Chains A and B, each alone.
Chain A
Amino acid sequence: MAEYKNVGVFCETNGGKLAPISTESLGIGRKLADDLGQSLVALLIGDQVGDAAKDAIRYGADKVYVVDNPMFKDYLSDSYVEVAQKLVDQASAQIVIMGQTDMGRDLAPRLAFRLGTVSTSDCLELAIDGASKRLLQTKPVYGGNAKEVFIIDTDPQIVTIRSKAMTALAPEDARQGEVVAFDAAIDVATLKMKLLEKVVEEVTGVKLEEATIVVSGGRGIGSPEGFSQLEELAALFKGAVGASRPAVDQGWLPPNRLVGITGKIIGPDLYIAVAISGSTQHMTGCGGSKTIVGINLDPEAGIFKRAHFGVIGDWKAVVPALTEKIKTMIG
């Protein structure tokens, strides 16, 4: 049984750089480590991730364990869980933080059960309980209708955090830390899962999760042609277009444009919901937006309970006029 005494953060990279979710994880990890008087240890598995390891120090880590090997270029559940187990032991991590990403969603519960503990997914807040020194984990439940605060009684306490729920520290070049190469080669012959192919559906334009302004449409848009009007508005802001589940189910937009509990969970500066009723499932996907605008014919639509600005009107008249006005303003 390892002695658990540090905070560990599993980092992910994007194009060789630390992914934003990982700088956010390091930000909250640093705070928790300071509150507990522990070290913050970044854990990095991948291929050609040396630069990201140095970045992890700049963003708050005291130490980084790096498993840098071509066999870990792509996330594969079977191989990553083996290595993750070794890394958690090596880091003596009492708390383990990951992003609620493709990797975290798959790895966290599996790693937890392998280590004889449980995990909490999609946390919006993390804090140390003053009395017990355990990790208070706040997450949405009932599709976002409520929030629940959990404590895990066994170590390590494993959590995933929602994108944009936590804040990254400003990177400091002067921050000192240690990068340690960790040899965790595994025998691929023992792996039960084999990856055949990874098919990435090309996204034209700005990615939903990276856009600062998102225009989304719902059932009321009525057709793929309707969405082209939303595209025009979004393009003015260099934003992205999203959709609610009914619109995706109708095939008006591909599944990678779905905003909601089973799609993308985003937190842009501005979210314009057009002809979207505002179901809880959908609001879970966009509730983290700084400003929400609802455009809907129905004054009783749920979206107005969560929106900061509302227009009660037919989107077919509102959206073109809004587009024209913004064109003149942007010049």
Chain B
Amino acid sequence: MNIVVCVKQVIDPEAPSSVFRIDEATQKGKNIDDSPPVLDPYGEYALEGALRLKADKGGKVTVISIGNDFDQNAMKKSLAIGADELILVEDDSLKDLDAYGTVCGLVQAIKKVGDYDLILTGREASDTNAGQTGSGIAEAMGLPLVTLVQQIDIDGSQAKIQRVITDGYESVTIPLPAVLTISNEIGEVRFPNMKGIMAAKKMKPTVYGPGDIGMDTVPKKSKMVRLYQEVSEAHCEFIKGESPEEMAVNLAEKLREAKLF
């Protein structure tokens, strides 16, 4: 089966929050510890889901990303862990895409790939925390959609899917082709091994400009008014005491004083 996985390059979300700043020039977040950009973790879960299906059913996994200024190491990780092809839709005009522009571009790129049984995205990107791309692709292409997926079982032209809900999960069936947004419950993402890293080094991503995928203009439906970091207002009052036990007693008294119980 042929699977398209849409991924995104993000600043490293695992970097400590103390190194996070807003880049005034680009009006985007950055890490000041020079940590390189990475594949979005949720996109990695989507890729993991695709690679497991490929191992079970055979076929091809094509990874697509849209944006600008791609970091080859970050993007090639998808090839190193087992994707067959990497397509980068890259241009300066794509640097400030909103959800609508992202979806339009990805849909055009997917149509160019042409042959797919499943389209997977992460449940949300770790920078925007939006969770719109998969839903948008499904609506734009008129395909069935299941969000927050934790398990995929393929049975011919049908898929049985488990999706995460607040206190458990739902099982649903949908016909293929379909769009799934993948949640972290799908399981641990594999690491690249040396063989994979060496193979990825030799592989070249397919690079398209917007014109190559028939994207003549970059549509936009929303705009950022302001991006800011809140000054944390909590001033921590450290509870004093000669021992942990004494501190605990003093804490209980503080909480009672504050009428918290």
Residues of A with Cβ closer than 8 Å to B? 76-78, 101-102, 105-106, 109-110, 112-114, 117-122, 129, 136, 139-154, 192-201, 203, 209, 213, 237, 255-256, 261-262, 264, 269-270, 279-281, 283, 291-294, 302, 304-314, 317-322, 325-326, 329-330
Contacts and interface: CB of A to CB of B under 8 A. Distances in A.
B244 A314 contact: yes
Interface residues of B, number: 80
Contact of A141 (B127, B166, B172): B127
B156 to A, nearest CB: 15
Interface string B103-127: 1000000000000000000011011
A142 B29 contact: yes
A110 B225 contact: no
Contact of A122 (B129, B226, B253): B129
B18 interface: yes
Contacts of B29: 141-142, 145-146
A318 B238 CA distance: 14
- Main SS of the interface on chain B? mixed
B147 interface: yes
Contacts, number: 241
A310 B223 contact: no
A306 B168 contact: no
Interface in B215-248: 220-230, 232, 234-239, 243-248
Contacts of B235: 308
Interface stretch (B9-17, B55-63, B82-90, B194-202): B9-17
Interface stretch (B46-54, B72-80, B134-142, B203-211): B134-142
Contact of A106 (B148, B160, B173): B148
- Main SS of the interface on chain A? mixed
Nearest to B136: A113
Q: Which of A201, A292, A321 has the most CB of B within 10 A?
A: A321
Nearest to A307: B236
A318 B248 contact: yes
Given A112-B132, A280-B13, A325-B253, 8 more contacts: A77-B146, A110-B139, A110-B145, A143-B126, A152-B222, A193-B172, A255-B185, A312-B247
Contact of B129 (A78, A121, A196): A121
A270 B255 contact: yes
Given A197-B171, A311-B251, A109 B166 contact: no
Contacts of B228: 146-147
Interface string B174-194: 110000000111000000000
A310 B238 contact: yes
B173 A153 contact: no
Nearest to B162: A199
Contact of A139 (B20, B100, B129): B129
B258 interface: yes
B222 A151 contact: yes
B81 to A, nearest CB: 20
